[in-house]
């Protein structure tokens, strides 16, 4: 499917000519993209490409300098408060205070939306059902990531933003998180994520946008991008191996999560 | 009624002055409709209340799990209480540090020596054997005066009674103390003289204590220490943990939610008031049990006024901590703001002892009416209705402080 074919699909996020400058230097140079309801959309790119800034503008955290972003037809710049009820953002695990139980952290997060929520069920959903009375500081890296996902979903957002969700995780925890992302997607939540790991993008994303120096240089389904490259005559040095070192590692240390 | 109108005028003025104000006040405009467990639709106000109460409740719980926080809010002010309590000695008696050099070998001098040592007015310095050592100690102000009993002191000369003249040395710094020491000595000699020479003096003076309970120095100090405690809680607390929360991204996470600045402020104020009352109750209990502090006022009025004071001073912490991007910005500003209050508002040093112009200036510091109010309720038994000026000035400061805090607050 080509980008131009998306016109008919149900778009939950529309970004048009979005711009951002810091101190006269343009870091996001008028990018445009749409995200369909229910898809997993990846934004890839080297550090400094403008991925995080783009997300932060859509998340109402940074003022938009030019262009516009609309979620469910609501303009982000005009109605940030309404946007905040519709989006969930996975934050760093340090963003949760120590000495507060996981259940209390979730109650507090829900209260920020003026809501009460079934915190036990939320923890069960991310496999932390036995950790209700734990503090965040006693969790492993993978558990912390899963907890921060639970916290971002307390108010059942329409779009879920994840900024490098698996950076710093070991392979088992990463695979476990991929399963969780797919589960959330199955529940009907649209997901937008950034990542440095191409394998992750291939596994999770329906479509990806590749950003470089503030611009989108390519956007399509991962498979199509690979096909295009091959059509240009690209040839990788051939090693016909059915497994790689990571497969060996997983085989030896077990596929199940160890945390 | 007049207060109500005044508050109304200030609120309207602020709405006009700052364009941001209406935004803080708008509530639940975008909140989708929600129901509670019994299916009733919750009003926007109920949801706001739920938000604020949940945040406050969890902060208080967290506080009681945080030993460092408990140390700084409970143990730390108590240490000050003990230091000042022991300095005041729990009573009002005056005493002088004196050196005693006994050059005489007479039995009389020996007895006199013991008598002086037993006298509560004098604290006899140890290890002073000659006048040079005594002068050295006097120059360091460790000793107020030196009493020398010369070699012939107490010897029996041309008669049946012992006689002698004690010499009191002092330096320029302690002339006043030396004079008092001389009078005390004269009194002692008069008693001795009366034993040897039977004369009835036509005029005499006797001083008698009325034995009624006045304001002890400790009663005065405790109110100041409560003020110090309020500063510690209200300013140094948030100035430390707000930049920390920014660094960790806690505030960024909350910024992504619809949580409003005023909700965050109100919940912080609520939890701070609870923690403050807890800390101050412990201080008052210790002051009463250990240092004979006399609470003469009404506890509820005192608690209400202290909550009001905490609320106002906490606004300063919110303003600085909410504005600062990191600790390096917060700490110096907090010190600049706090130091004048710490020294001039009557926390450690009574304001009545200051030069008059300084009293006039320090009267307008935000902490001054709070400490004065606490003192008037706790030690003078005044009621809230009697301390209108203190309430009024605290309120004015509160409005100014929170107007600033709202304007300068940053989530990141």
pLDDT at B282: 93
Pairwise CB contact (< 8 Å): A104 & B58: yes
B249 closest CB neighbour out of A59, A82, A91: A91
Q: CA separation (Å) from B227 to B43, B221, B318, B369?
A: 39, 10, 18, 10
Helix or strand or coil: residue A93?
A: helix
**A62 touching chain B per CB within 8 A:** no
CA separation for the pair B353, B180 (Å, rounded): 22
A84 closest CB neighbour out of B62, B65, B257: B257
CA separation for the pair B241, B248 (Å, rounded): 10
**In chain A, what residues touch B250 (CB-CB under 8 Å)?**
95-97
pLDDT at A2: 44
Q: pTM here?
A: 0.75
Give CA angle at A170 (A169, A171), nearest 5°.
Answer: 115
Q: Directed axis angle between helix B367-380 and helix B217-231, to 10°?
A: 140
In a mutagenesis test of the A interface, which of B35, B46, B258, B261 is the best target, namely the one with the most A β-carbons within 10 Å?
B258
Residues B262-316 pLDDT 10s: 999 999 999 999 999 999 999 999 988 888 888 888 999 999 999 999 999 999 9
CA separation for the pair B310, B308 (Å, rounded): 6
Pairwise CB contact (< 8 Å): B248 & A95: yes
Pairwise CB contact (< 8 Å): A114 & B30: no
Q: Extract the runs of DSSP E, i.e. beta strands, from B66-206.
A: 96-102, 122-124, 145-149, 155-156, 162-163, 167-169
- Alpha-carbon distance A203 to nearest alpha carbon in chain B (angstroms): 28
**B50 touching chain A per CB within 8 A:** yes
Nearest CA in chain A to B23: A81
**A56 touching chain B per CB within 8 A:** no
pLDDT at A204: 94
Pairwise CB contact (< 8 Å): A97 & B62: yes
**In chain A, what residues touch B248 (CB-CB under 8 Å)?**
92, 94-95, 97
CA separation for the pair A156, B297 (Å, rounded): 53
CA separation for the pair A198, A218 (Å, rounded): 14
Pairwise CB contact (< 8 Å): B256 & A85: no
- Asked if A156 and A125 count as a contact pair (C-beta separation under 8 A), the reply is no
B96-196 is classed in which CATH architecture? Answer: 3-Layer(aba) Sandwich (3.40)
Nearest CA in chain A to B67: A99
Where do the domains of chain B lie? 2-16+45-88+216-408, 96-196
**In chain A, what residues touch B42 (CB-CB under 8 Å)?**
114
Nearest CA in chain B to A157: B257
Q: What is the SS3 string spanning B49-70? A: HHHHHHHHHHHHHHHHHCHHHH
**B242 touching chain A per CB within 8 A:** no
- Residues of chain A whose pLDDT is less than 70? 1-9, 239-240, 255-259
Query: Average model confidence (pLDDT) for chain A?
Result: 88
Pairwise CB contact (< 8 Å): B55 & A108: yes
Q: How many CB pairs under 8 A join A and B?
A: 82
Pairwise CB contact (< 8 Å): B50 & A89: no
Stretch 104-133 of chain A: residues touching chain B, C-beta under 8 Å: 104, 107-109, 111-116
- Residues of chain B whose pLDDT is less than 50? 1, 14, 16-33, 90
């Amino acid at each position: 499917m080509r980008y131009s074919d998306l016109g008919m699909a149900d778009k939950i996020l529309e970004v048009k000519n979005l711009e951002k400058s810091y101190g006269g230097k343009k870091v996001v140079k008028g990018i445009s993209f749409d995200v369909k309801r229910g898809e997993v959309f990846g934004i890839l790119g080297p550090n400094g490409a403008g991925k995080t800034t783009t997300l932060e503008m859509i998340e109402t955290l940074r003022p938009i300098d030019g262009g516009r972003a609309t979620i469910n037809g609501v303009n982000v710049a005009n109605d940030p408060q309404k946007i905040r009820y519709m989006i969930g953002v996975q934050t760093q695990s340090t963003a949760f205070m120590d000495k507060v139980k996981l259940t209390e952290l979730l109650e507090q997060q829900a209260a920020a939306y003026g809501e009460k929520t079934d915190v036990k069920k939320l923890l069960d959903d991310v496999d932390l059902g036995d950790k209700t009375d734990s503090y965040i500081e006693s969790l492993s890296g993978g558990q912390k990531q899963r907890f921060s996902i639970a916290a971002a979903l307390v108010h059942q957002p329409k779009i879920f933003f994840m900024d490098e969700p698996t950076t710093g995780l070991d392979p088992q925890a990463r695979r476990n998180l991929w399963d969780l992302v797919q589960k959330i997607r199955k529940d009907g939540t649209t997901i937008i994520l950034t990542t440095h790991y191409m394998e992750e993008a291939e596994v999770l994303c329906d479509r990806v946008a590749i950003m470089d120096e503030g611009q989108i240089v390519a956007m399509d389904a991962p498979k199509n991008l690979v096909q295009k490259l091959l059509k240009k005559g690209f040839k990788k040095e051939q090693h016909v191996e059915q497994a790689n070192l990571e497969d060996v590692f997983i085989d030896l240390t077990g596929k199940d999560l160890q945390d | 009624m007049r207060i109500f109108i005044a508050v109304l005028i200030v609120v309207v003025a602020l709405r006009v002055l700052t364009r941001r104000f209406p935004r803080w006040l708008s509530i639940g405009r975008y909140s989708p409709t929600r129901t509670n467990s019994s299916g009733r639709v919750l009003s926007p106000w109920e949801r706001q209340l739920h938000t604020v109460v949940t945040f406050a409740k969890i902060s208080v719980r967290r506080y009681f799990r945080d030993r460092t926080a408990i140390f700084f809010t409970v143990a730390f002010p108590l240490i000050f209480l003990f230091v000042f309590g022991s300095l005041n000695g729990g009573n009002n008696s005056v005493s002088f540090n004196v050196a005693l050099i006994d050059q005489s070998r007479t039995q009389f001098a020996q007895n006199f020596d013991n008598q002086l040592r037993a006298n509560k007015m004098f604290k006899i310095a140890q290890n002073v054997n000659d006048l040079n050592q005594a002068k050295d100690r006097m120059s360091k102000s460790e000793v107020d005066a030196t009493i020398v009993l010369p070699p012939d002191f107490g010897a029996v000369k041309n008669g049946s009674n012992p006689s002698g003249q004690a010499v009191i040395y002092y330096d320029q710094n302690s002339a006043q103390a030396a004079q008092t020491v001389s009078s005390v000595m004269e009194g002692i000699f008069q008693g001795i003289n009366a034993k040897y020479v039977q004369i009835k003096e036509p005029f005499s003076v006797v001083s008698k204590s009325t034995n009624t309970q006045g304001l002890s120095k400790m009663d005065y100090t405790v109110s100041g220490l409560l003020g110090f405690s309020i500063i510690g809680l209200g300013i140094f607390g948030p100035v430390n943990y707000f930049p920390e929360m920014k660094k960790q991204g806690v505030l960024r996470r909350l910024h992504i939610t619809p949580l409003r600045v005023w909700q965050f402020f109100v919940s912080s104020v609520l939890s701070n008031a609870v923690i403050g009352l807890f800390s101050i109750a412990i201080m008052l209990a210790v002051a009463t049990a250990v240092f004979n502090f006399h609470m003469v006022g009404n506890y509820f009025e005192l608690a209400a006024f202290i909550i009001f004071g905490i609320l106002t001073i906490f606004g300063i912490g919110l303003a600085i901590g909410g504005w600062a991007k990191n600790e390096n910005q917060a700490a110096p500003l907090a010190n600049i703001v706090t130091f004048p209050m710490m020294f001039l508002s009557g926390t450690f040093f009574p304001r009545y002892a200051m030069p008059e112009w300084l009293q006039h200036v320090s009267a307008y510091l935000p902490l001054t009416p709070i400490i004065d109010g606490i003192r008037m309720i706790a030690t003078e038994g005044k009621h809230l209705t009697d301390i209108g000026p203190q309430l009024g000035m605290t309120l004015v400061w509160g409005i100014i402080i929170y107007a600033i805090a709202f304007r300068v607050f940053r989530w990141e």
